[in-house]
Amino acid sequence: MTDGKDPLGTYVAVAQSAMDHELVRSDRRRVLALIGLLVFFLVVMVSIRSLPQVIRADFRSRAMAAFVPMVAVVVVYLAYEVGVLAWLSRLSRERRSAPAAFRYTHTLIEISLPTATLLAVSPALGGLPTLIGAVPFVYFPFLCLAALSLNYRLCVFAGAAAAAEFTAVSLALIRMDVLPLEAESPVLAMVRSPHQWLVKGGILLATGFIAGFVARQIRCQLASALRTLEERDRAVSIFGQHVSPQVADLLLKQPLDSAAQERHVCVMFFDIRDFSSLANQRPPGEVMEYLNVLFSAIIPIVNEHQGIINKFLGDGFMAVFGAPVADGEQCRHAVDAAQAILACVDQLNRAQSIPATLVGIGLHQGVALTGNVGGGKRKEYTVIGDVVNVAARIEQATKQFRASLLVSEAVAQSIRDPAAVDLGPVELKGQAAPLRLYRLA
């Protein structure tokens, strides 16, 4: 039966939603980094103004001439970034993604900060000298931070915008050049040459491509990690319908050829009394529905008590406590699970959710080997040891004593339940010596 939904499409949608949420978080980190960068610029400028001895007097006078316009530009951008941060934080809380148009507009606004600064301070610095200062280098941190967008095209767009803006401003400032002509000065000749500014514009464009390459690699690795996690969760979900989720998780983690492990386990065998008669009196579909109702109520009980259903045996199952994960309280958990199962069956009987049902449960503890058994491409997680055989024989003995729950002496001594009734040594099929059994129900 299916609800009409495509499971693969559902996982793709979940992965895309996770990716979108991660992109919003990445945008937040980028904005936070830019806010820190802008605050750093403000601190530097205020320090230059407040500490005259930091730089030479002639440099300081030029810096002070550009102080007000630079601070004005930085403060405006800082206010803008704080507003964007608040908006992105809301999107992150609501697990919504930012529109694509916002990303490009926001990137263009951010990358224009150095351009706006160049235009704002050029009148105070006399035009062309603005290009010689530190302001043009501010493009590079913005381009590096663009990689956090995890968008190749956006990074290239940022590089192209930075290159175009810087080149346009450079050519405009060269045309407005008011420096005295000194043809013999190679430095001034180089400053006035448009070629070096075009080359720097090209470097900005190349930086955009490099940032885009880095962004693409990060995005691919993130997408691969998300797909791996989704596929693993899906495998555990599907595989866990056939074996315990704990076993599915263990098998996915360990190598196929991993060696068997010794575990101190408590094994439970569960059986439905007179199941053959019940099955003969009902159609197969009704019998299957009966088993599904019964096992659907019992399986969670085993899982809740740190156990796993290792095998279904038609009208019963074998459960293990203490494997695949070691558990020092495996006997107590097994007994508690068995008593909860009996209470559950009794409740289903009273509610008439199932035909009148009697069950038998046998418990024994001991050392067993656990691991993958099989050959070729078909392997199964199993538990092997005499403890399994003895537990099966104890469950069969419940019919002899008309009991619902029998445990071995090893289990009884471990839990020390005063309600346990000593049945004395009992001959069990396949066992060389009698085994003392205790009835708990």
- Taking only the tens place, the pLDDT of each residue in 77-107 is 889 889 988 888 888 777 777 787 888 888 8
* Sequence-separated (6 or more) residues with CB below 8 Å from residue 16: none
Predicted confidence band at 254 (pLDDT cuts at 50, 70, 90)? Answer: low
437 vs 146, more confident: 437
Closest to 408 (Cα-Cα) out of 317, 307, 338, 304:
338
Is the confidence at residue 257, as pLDDT, over 60? no
> Please, which residues have CB within 8 angstroms of residue 1's CB and are 6 or more apart in sequence?
none
Winning range, highest mean pLDDT, from 168-177, 255-264, 350-359: 350-359
DSSP for 327-393? -TTHHHHHHHHHHHHHHHHHHHHHTTSSS---EEEEEEEEEEEEEEEEETTEEEEEEESHHHHHHHH
Q: How far is the C-alpha of 426 from the C-alpha of 407, rounded, in Å?
A: 12
User: What's the average model confidence in pLDDT over 413-435?
Assistant: 88
What's the confidence (pLDDT) of residue 2? 40
Q: Report pLDDT for 136.
A: 76
**pLDDT at 249 (0 to 100):** 63
- The string of pLDDT tens digits covering residues 34-71 is 888 888 888 877 777 777 665 665 556 666 666 778 78
- Class of 245-439 per CATH? alpha beta
The CA-to-CA distance between both ends of the chain, in Å, stands at: 39
pLDDT at 236: 55
| Res. 285: pLDDT tops 80 | yes
Q: State residue 8's pLDDT score.
A: 40
The whole-angstrom separation of Cα 436 and Cα 39 is 79
Going by the DSSP 8-state scheme, the letter that residue 242 receives in this structure is T
Pair 221, 195: CB distance under 8 Å: no
The per-residue pLDDT of the chain, averaged, comes to: 79
* Distance of alpha carbon 2 from alpha carbon 257, whole angstroms: 36
In terms of Cα–Cα distance, which of 327, 325, 385, 388 is closest to 362?
Answer: 388
Asked if residue 374 has pLDDT above 80, the reply is no
Q: What is the per-residue pLDDT across 102-128, written as a single tens digit (0 to 9) for each?
A: 888 888 888 888 888 788 777 766 666
Residue 203 pLDDT: 87
CA 372 → CA 233, 243, 257, 309, 384, distances in Å? Answer: 21, 13, 8, 15, 10
**How crowded is residue 288: how many other Cβ atoms within 10 Å of its Cβ?**
12
Above 60 in pLDDT, residue 181?
no
Write down the domain spans for the chain: 7-236, 245-439
- pTM above the 0.85 mark? no
pLDDT digit string (tens) for 294-346?
999 998 899 888 888 888 887 899 999 988 777 788 999 999 999 999 999 99
Residues in Cβ contact with 385 at an 8 Å cutoff, skipping those fewer than 6 apart: 366, 367, 368, 369
Burial of 77 (C-beta count, 10 Å sphere; 0-12/13-18/19+)? buried
Q: What are phi and psi of 318, to 5 degrees?
A: -115, 125
